[in-house]
């Protein structure tokens, strides 16, 4: 398990707590299209298309494009005042940079949305971000393995030196599907049962830091 040097982080629920702003602007988009939902029922992590189908069923599939368009129009122009890095995360990435460890970001957010958060809080602390925006004809129901394979191929990474870090089941199954080690962060949005297949797990950022630096020895 050692000699790892490429660490791929999920964004929502891993690098930053983004739930407040996602729920705020998605519930606004839903209301604008005639759907009133309990914000707390909006699941953070999956692609929006899947979230809408879970919330609205057939109506979610039919109205998905319009709701997502309205949501992203508001989200990408907002201050995102409810979004913050998890305590200790910026310091962890700085230590990783000092240790010559490579940090990448793999997220289902479009690149434009991801960069609002990454440039505000993590500027200069990651090498690249990969999202569905970079992949032609990306299937919103696809596993994160598609993003990881794209990242591996485009940055010529040795998968045996890579680790996926995330808070969602798709992070763990995606890593498994490409033969990559996975770390589940239990402070994010998924329940521990969803993350049971992870190789390692961390209750908080301090514990995550210890695991990362143990893996790179």
Q: How far apart are CA 192 and CA 189, in angstroms?
A: 9
User: Which residues, 6+ apart, have CB-to-CB distance to 23 below 8 Å?
Assistant: 39, 40, 42, 44
Composition of the chain by helix, strand, coil, percent to 5:
50, 15, 35
Mode of pairing for the β-strands spanning 181-185 and 162-166: parallel
Q: What is the pLDDT of residue 162?
A: 98
CATH topology of 6-17+83-215 equal to that of 19-75?
A: no
Which residue has 């521990």 as its token pair?
192
Q: How far apart are CA 107 and CA 10, in angstroms?
A: 5
Q: What is the pLDDT of residue 128?
A: 97
Q: What is the pLDDT of residue 108?
A: 92
Q: What is the pLDDT of residue 140?
A: 67
DSSP state of 98: H
Long-range contacts of 32-39 (CB under 8 A, 24+ apart): 32/70, 33/63, 33/66, 33/67, 33/70, 35/59, 35/63, 35/67
The helix (run of H) or strand (run of E) holding residue 90 is helix 89-98
Q: What is the pLDDT of residue 136?
A: 82
Nearest to 115 by CA among 75, 160, 64: 75
CATH of domain 19-75: 1.10.150.240
Q: How far apart are CA 180 and CA 104, in angstroms?
A: 14
Q: What is the pLDDT of residue 54?
A: 87
Q: What is the pLDDT of residue 134?
A: 87
Report helix, strand or coil for 108.
coil
The fold of 6-17+83-215 is Rossmann fold (3.40.50)
| Contact assessment for residue 12 and residue 22, using Cβ atoms and an 8 Å cutoff | yes
| Domain layout of the chain by residue ranges | 6-17+83-215, 19-75
Mode of pairing for the β-strands spanning 6-9 and 128-130: unpaired
Q: How far apart are CA 72 and CA 170, in angstroms?
A: 22
Query: Per-10-residue mean pLDDT for the chain, 217 residues long?
Result: 92 97 96 93 87 85 90 93 97 97 96 95 97 83 86 96 96 96 97 93 98 94
Burial class of residue 98, CB neighbours in 10 A (0-12, 13-18, 19+): exposed
């Amino acid at each position: 398990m050692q000699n790892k040097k490429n660490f791929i982080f999920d964004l929502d629920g891993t690098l930053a707590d983004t739930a407040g702003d996602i729920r705020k602007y998605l519930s606004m988009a839903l209301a604008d299209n005639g759907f009133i939902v309990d914000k707390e029922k909006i699941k953070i992590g999956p692609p929006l298309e899947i979230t809408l189908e879970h919330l609205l069923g057939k109506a979610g599939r039919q109205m998905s494009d319009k709701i997502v368009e309205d949501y992203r129009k508001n989200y990408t122009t907002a201050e995102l005042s409810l979004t913050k890095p998890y305590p200790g995360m910026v310091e962890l990435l700085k230590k990783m940079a000092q240790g010559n460890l490579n940090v990448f970001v793999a997220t289902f957010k479009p690149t434009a949305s991801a960069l609002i958060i990454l440039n505000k809080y993590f500027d200069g602390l990651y090498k690249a971000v990969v999202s569905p925006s970079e992949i032609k004809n990306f299937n919103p129901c696809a596993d994160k393995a598609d993003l990881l394979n794209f990242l591996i191929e485009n940055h010529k990474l040795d998968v045996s030196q890579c680790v996926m870090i995330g808070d969602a089941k798709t992070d763990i199954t995606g890593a498994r599907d490409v033969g990559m080690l996975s770390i589940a962060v239990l402070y994010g949005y998924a329940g521990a049962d969803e993350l049971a297949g992870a190789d390692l797990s961390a209750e908080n950022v301090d514990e995550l830091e210890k695991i990362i630096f143990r893996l790179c020895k």
